[in-house]
Amino acid sequence: MSVRILALVGDAFGGKGGISQYNRDLISAWSALGMVKQVVVLPRFASPSSLSVPEKVVQHPPAGSALLYSLRAIKHAVRRDRFDVVFCGHLHMMPLAVIISKLSGAPIWLQVHGIEAWSKPSDFVRWCGEKAVLVTAVSRHTRRQFLRWASIDPNRVLVLPNTVGEQFVPDEDRISAKKKYGLTGKRVLLTVSRLAKSERYKGHDRIIRNLPKIMEKVGNLIYVIAGDGDMRCELEELVRYEKLEDFVVFMGQIENSKLPTMYRAADIFVMPSSGEGFGIVFLEALACGTPVIAGNSDGAGDPLHDGNLGVLSDAQELPVEIHRLLSSPRCIGGSRTSDRELERSTRRYFGRAVFDDLVKKATEWFEYAPCSDPRPNS
Amino acid sequence: MCGVAAIFAFHFSAPPVDRNELIRIRDAMTVRGPDAKGEWYSEDGRLAIGHRRLSIIDLSDQAAQPMVSSDRNVVLSFNGEIYNHAALRKSLEENGQEFRSRSDTEVILHLYELKGEAMLDDLRGMFALVLWDKKRRSMLLARDPYGIKPLYYANDGWSVRVGSQVKALLAGGRVSRQTDPAGRAGFFLFGSVPEPYTSFQEIRSVPAGSFIRIDERGPSAPVVWKCVSRIYADAEVENAPADASEVKEAVRTALLDSVKHHLVSDVPVGAFLSSGIDSSAVVGLTRDAGEYPIETMTLAFPEFVDHMHDESRIAGQTARTYGTRHTTHRVSEADFHNQLPNILEAMDQPSIDGINTWMVSKAASDSGLKVCLSGLGGDELFGGYPSFRDIPKWVRGMRIPSHVPLLGTACRFGFDLLGLESFGVSPKAAGFVTYAGTYSGAYLLRRGLFMPWELPGILGEDATREGLRRLQLLEHIGESLRPDPGTAFARVACMESSIYLRNQLLRDADWAGMAHSLEIRVPLVDTTLLGNIAPIANSGRLGISKRVLVSAPTTPFGDDVATRRKTGFTVPIEAWMSSSRNILDAWRRVPSLTRSGCHWARRLAYAVHFQSVA
């Protein structure tokens, strides 16, 4: 059977951030599958982009409003050439997905990413969410949080994690990477993320407040914040308040092509977040061979393999863990690890081939039995 | 009887199995299998299977588990007994299969190699098994049709962990302890946690009579391979014996066949003996099967001396009738309080029953027994509960009133307005009009411990709403009636067998027996037996009576047993809970439970629940 997929997403080819990257990876994986005939992507928002759209994929331009978007999606759904699967890229688009599913008879594949699925939505959205035949969650944590409020067979909720791009690789010459960013001779802590007020949970402020304590034990320390957004001013104010202007650098938005060098310039990638669905940046840093510290109360446990690939720290232990890792940067998960070993482990579990295989397995549900319970009883 | 454990890192992103975790899960079940332990790991590190063994058939190391097939393509860890293993072995040997042990485990292994999961249909007995099929790269989890042996699994999205006990899975340290609202609500509604739910959201029971396959996609939806309702539905009524004497003989033959099969063992088999019909019949049939003298035991309590609940006098008479080596174990209130922490520790999931089984199992174990027969299941098979009389009557009478819009709501409102509960009227009366018109609803009224509208006072509004939403109460009960078993008797039998017997009696028998490394066998809970009885039951010639069971043994037991009012295997728990302060005192904090007339089981439910979440 050939599968036609209608993908309702926030953005894909043209968007920025982890979720649009995830959508691009997923759609690209579909396009490479023999069982997939066509993927029609309807982005809700998407900036103009030079990114090329893969074979078998048609991405329509974004609609101006939610109403227009919905009407266009419904129009696609009722065309003669029906879709076999409605992919819903965000929980809050599920009401539309349910309407389309009712009109077209196509089962729904819902993707849940992170905090949008961690707490119970309105009763209506929950009811819609429970109509999904297959749910893929970006991490075990998100899956668990989703199942706290969704009354749905847990065996229909699969984990489909982020993957990491091939451009993220180690380079033995970390010194030149530091030189490129003017960080020569420094011990560098790095965070890469949007600086959005809605994403305070990332934990930049916790690192800034802890810097004096860490600097008591570690000389030449500098904290590099890459990314931009409406929280930047607040953080800059905090840096001034703490009198840390000489020790915190705001790099602004880093182009994708320059990100690998940025990661390599860091001694530690640290983001003590409490709201990551998964945290693709952790994979990127690890693939570049940079040791990682993450929070221990969200989805970061997955990219860090429950502490075997990086350090999962609670807020209180953060300065201790940073100091420990700076003192012995290659000692992770109880054993010494080289840059290449970190990359190999990361790619072994989260590489493109693994992701493509997982997408294939998930899509096979619909190929075998596109009905209310698509899981093949092998 | 044993404990099985397994971890399968099925997801490509999952790290290899942590061997120490498997050992923690396995060894949390040491009492289930104190005689031996074993573990097996796949070469790629993605799979680990463990086993704790209570040796009963083939005591040699040749029967050790996990058992690996000679070509190393199949690995099996199994809990239970296959009573027809000798016949199956013979047929397999005729087919050219070579055996290296006398165990029933190896029979399953060879049978699977021959037939795949279709082999489940051939197994007569109680079992829960974990089987790794290397060629298909998939794991099979399966349970017997009645659900005599437990099997739980926890899927975190990356790895599936499997164990014979909920507490063992938790002991591994990687399974979430997030409570399941459906499991909690179900416990207060039924007095036991209704499967497939457990107290914990991540842990599910493999449904009785079902199998699950786990491959790189994760666990499949459970596939039902045999169920009680199907056996009744398929019963060929026209083949049922026509007259009373033929019925009597057919039932006797079927019962004796089951008891004979349940005596297969390489260690001595004893029996629990109360003053009731079921255990007396089992002991009598055991003698007919040529297995005597056997050890029998009963419990006696100082509170019941010269009381109708005293089991010891009549049980003693029955023991003399059948020439058993009988012992009466006296249990005092002090013993109860001393053992209570151990009982609660052994209780795998919250339950309002099982204390009696724990005590009599202790007595059996102290006598050196590893295997005991129990009369569980006789009431479900022969219609011994009042539900067989009441439920069909209620459904007939209330079918129309229960469909009158708002009548049920009005009755509930009137009940509350008049404050009838404070006059000692059961809260169930308030829901009679709403529920009594359907089999599922009537069953809830008959068996329910708390009614749904009482739960907010115990669990709170949010937890109740969430629990009931997930549980889908009436649909949940109604599942036991699919396919329709055909007659009123069979419908009640299916509900009793699939809910009360499975979730309460059999589960309690498992944890309470296993707490003393004792295998409890239940000859009246057997699908072959049911297959023989169902045509008679559906033809209406069985009647709703256990008289037919009374006349089954060649040597009849005394009239005292046959005519005694049904009391169950009773423990003076009500008096013990009320007489002194103890660790079950939590119920005193809930106003509705402190009212005089409140049933002790409702108080015990709250106390046990409180202990389980403390």
Gyration radius (Cα) of chain A, Å: 22
CB atoms within 10 A of CB A53: 18
A279 residue type, one letter = G
The predicted model gives B426-453 an average pLDDT of: 93
Question: Mean pLDDT across chain B, nearest whole number?
Answer: 92
Q: Residue A377 pLDDT > 60, yes or no?
A: no
- Kindly determine whether residue B15 and residue A305, on different chains, have CB atoms separated by under 8 Å: yes
| Three-state secondary structure of chain A | CCEEEEEEECCCCCCCCHHHHHHHHHHHHHHCCCCEEEEEEEECCCCCCCCCCCCCEEECCCCCCHHHHHHHHHHHHCCCCCCCEEEECCHHHHHHHHHHHHHHCCCEEEEECCHHHCCCCCHHHHHHHCCCCEEEECCHHHHHHHHHHCCCCHHHEEECCCCCCCCCCCCCCHHHHHHHCCCCCCEEEEEECCCCHHHHHHCHHHHHHHHHHHHCCCCCEEEEEEECCCCHHHHHHHHHHCCCCCCEEEEECCCHHHHHHHHHCCCEEEECCCCCCCCHHHHHHHHCCCCEEEECCCHHHCCCHHHCCCEEECHHHHHHHHHHHHHCCCEECCEECCHHHHHHHHHHHHCHHHHHHHHHHHHHHHHHCCCCCCCCCC
Q: How far is A292 from chain B (nearest CA, A)?
A: 18
Q: Residue A371 pLDDT > 50, yes or no?
A: no
- Kindly determine whether residue A378 and residue B136, on different chains, have CB atoms separated by under 8 Å: yes
B interface with A, Cβ–Cβ < 8 A, is: 11-15, 136, 138, 155-158, 176, 178, 201-202, 204, 213, 215-221, 223, 469-470
List A residues 106-135 in contact with B (Cβ-Cβ < 8 A).
none
Q: Give the number of A-B residue pairs with CB atoms closer than 8 Å.
A: 70
- In this predicted model, what pLDDT tens digit does every residue of B427-440 receive, in sequence order? 888 889 999 999 99
CA-wise closest residue to A265 among A178, A341, A339: A178
Q: How far is B16 from chain A (nearest CA, A)?
A: 10
**Per-residue pLDDT, A360:** 94
**Per-residue pLDDT, A374:** 40
**Per-residue pLDDT, A331:** 61
User: What chain A residue is nearest to B137 in terms of C-alpha separation?
Assistant: A378
- Kindly determine whether residue A308 and residue B15, on different chains, have CB atoms separated by under 8 Å: yes
Alpha-carbon torsion, ordered A232, A234, A239, A243, to 10 deg: 140
CA-wise closest residue to A89 among A56, A121, A44: A44
Q: Residue B548 pLDDT > 90, yes or no?
A: no
CA distances from B361 to A79, B365, B372, B562, B570 (A): 68, 6, 8, 25, 14
Q: Residue B154 pLDDT > 70, yes or no?
A: yes
Q: Residue A34 pLDDT > 70, yes or no?
A: yes
- Kindly determine whether residue B201 and residue A137, on different chains, have CB atoms separated by under 8 Å: no
Six-digit token pair at B560? 């005292």
- Kindly determine whether residue A155 and residue B219, on different chains, have CB atoms separated by under 8 Å: yes
The predicted model gives B270-287 an average pLDDT of: 94
User: What chain B residue is nearest to A376 in terms of C-alpha separation?
Assistant: B220
Question: Mean pLDDT across chain A, nearest whole number?
Answer: 90
The reported pTM is: 0.94
Q: How far is A302 from chain B (nearest CA, A)?
A: 8
User: What chain B residue is nearest to A134 in terms of C-alpha separation?
Assistant: B217
List A residues 129-188 in contact with B (Cβ-Cβ < 8 A).
137, 139-140, 143-144, 147-148, 151, 153-155, 157-159, 161
Helix (H) or strand (E) holding B213: strand B210-215
Q: How far is A137 from chain B (nearest CA, A)?
A: 9
**CB nearest to A358's CB, from B12, B213, B223:** B12
CB atoms within 10 A of CB A79: 11
User: What chain A residue is nearest to B156 in terms of C-alpha separation?
Assistant: A140
**CB nearest to B176's CB, from A144, A157, A373:** A144
User: What chain B residue is nearest to A357 in terms of C-alpha separation?
Assistant: B12
B275 secondary structure, DSSP code: S
Question: Would strands B160-163 and A187-192 be described as parallel, antiparallel, or unpaired?
Answer: unpaired
B559 residue type, one letter = D
CB B201 within 8 A of CB A148: yes
**CB nearest to A354's CB, from B13, B138, B155:** B13
Six-digit token pair at A235? 């953080």
Q: How much of chain A, in percent, has pLDDT values that exceed 70?
A: 93
Q: Residue A49 pLDDT > 80, yes or no?
A: no
**Per-residue pLDDT, A373:** 43
CA distances from B376 to A2, A135, A360, B447 (A): 54, 42, 49, 17
- Kindly determine whether residue A358 and residue B215, on different chains, have CB atoms separated by under 8 Å: no
CA-wise closest residue to B208 among B194, B219, B190, B188: B194
Quote the crossing angle between the two packed helices B488-495 and B439-447, to the nearest 10°.
50
**CB nearest to A375's CB, from B155, B204, B220:** B220
Comparing B390 with B564, the larger pLDDT belongs to B390
- The per-residue DSSP string of B581-593 comes to --TTGGGGGSHHH
**CB nearest to A378's CB, from B12, B138, B202:** B138
Note the ipTM here. 0.91
User: What pLDDT band is residue B239 in, cutting at 50, 70 and 90?
Assistant: confident
CB atoms within 10 A of CB B332: 12
Q: Residue B489 pLDDT > 60, yes or no?
A: yes
- Kindly determine whether residue A378 and residue B11, on different chains, have CB atoms separated by under 8 Å: no
User: What chain A residue is nearest to B140 in terms of C-alpha separation?
Assistant: A378
